[in-house]
Amino acid sequence: MDKLDWNQLRAFLETAETGSLSAAARKLGLTQPTLSRQVAAIEQRMGVTLFERVGKAMALTPTGMDLLEHARAMGAAAQALGVAASGRSQEVGGVVSVSATDAVAFYLLPPLVRQLREKEPGIAVEVISSNALSDLLRREADIAIRHVKPEQPELIARLIRETSASFYASKDWVKVHGHPRSAEDATHLPFVGSDRSGQYLGYLRQHGLPLSEANFSCYSDHSVAHWGLVCQGMGIGAMMDEIAHATPGIVRVLDDVPPVIFPIWLVTHRELRTARRIRVVFEALAQGLQAG
């Protein structure tokens, strides 16, 4: 067998990891036909069938399962090489990707990116809005803003500060429904939900709010859209206090319910921390978020 083509190996690995040609193509920045050709090419080169179609999904064959761990090891080695090379770059220029939840990405990051650009015009920041924990080990982002401390030893994290979130409603909503202050006051009031699986409802109940699905007037698992619905008077919703305080027409409600306290962590890969451009962005974000 000829030497493997790295692009074909990545096509196999990402298709196996995502279970979908379309999802793997988006992740690799390719068209689906291009990715499909690469998968077919590696199967032809190796003389085996790696996938079988199950509906719209791509399921690994037994042979594909056997080869997956070898492909993962090769992929991890290539990623480690890229991380090490990036870490030794001392140029104060280029692109640095920063991952954050959609609310932080929309409300808190833009002014920090503007300030950084004024100081370091050679650096372009890519803001990745994601509620998932970006896998820094796989270089989905150079820096991540997280609300939990990562456990991976390859990552370094700095606790920036603790922040809080409380419950809010629009002034127009308060005119109609009054100003609820206790958890009991909220029993029959409308809320903006975050999901239809019951997870958010369970969280609210754990926080002492005696609610049911009937309390939800609408839903959005996207924090910015969720907040937009609150601002339009659709119901009570939770938001970081510093974001809520900067939003006109918003009133804190359920004042007797304790706020949620959670940390802000700034995280990067140990190797990437030695790259000057990433170090500059890391320190700028740390300073800006600390002042928030």
Residue 1 lies inside a defined structural domain of this protein: no
Write down the pLDDT at residue 1: 45
Residue 220 lies inside a defined structural domain of this protein: yes
Together in a domain, 185 and 142: no
Number of domains making up the chain: 3
Q: Could you tell me if 231 and 247 are in contact, meaning their C-beta atoms sit under 8 angstroms apart?
A: yes
What's the rounded Cα separation, in Å, for the pair 144 and 268?
A: 6
Question: DSSP assignment of 268-279, as one string?
Answer: EETTGGGSHHHH
* Residue 226 lies in domain: 163-262
Sign of CA dihedral 88, 100, 161, 203: negative
Residue 208 lies inside a defined structural domain of this protein: yes
| 125-181 tens-digit pLDDT | 999 998 666 666 667 889 999 998 888 888 889 999 999 999 999 999 999 999 999
What distances in angstroms separate CA 135 from CA 93, 115, 155, one per listed residue?
Answer: 23, 27, 10
Together in a domain, 208 and 150: no
Together in a domain, 244 and 170: yes
Per-residue pLDDT of the chain (292 residues; tens, 9 = 90+): 456 677 787 888 888 888 888 888 888 888 888 878 888 888 888 888 888 888 778 888 888 787 778 777 776 666 665 655 555 545 567 899 999 999 999 999 999 999 999 999 999 999 999 866 666 666 788 999 999 888 888 888 999 999 999 999 999 999 999 999 999 999 999 999 999 999 999 999 999 999 999 999 999 999 999 999 999 999 999 999 999 999 999 999 999 999 999 999 999 988 766 688 899 999 999 999 997 6
Last residue of a domain, one of 87, 105, 132: 87
CATH of the domain at 167: 3.40.190.10
User: By C-alpha distance, which of 265, 276, 270, 264 is closest to 96?
Assistant: 276
Residue 291: helix, strand or coil by DSSP? Answer: helix
Together in a domain, 62 and 146: no
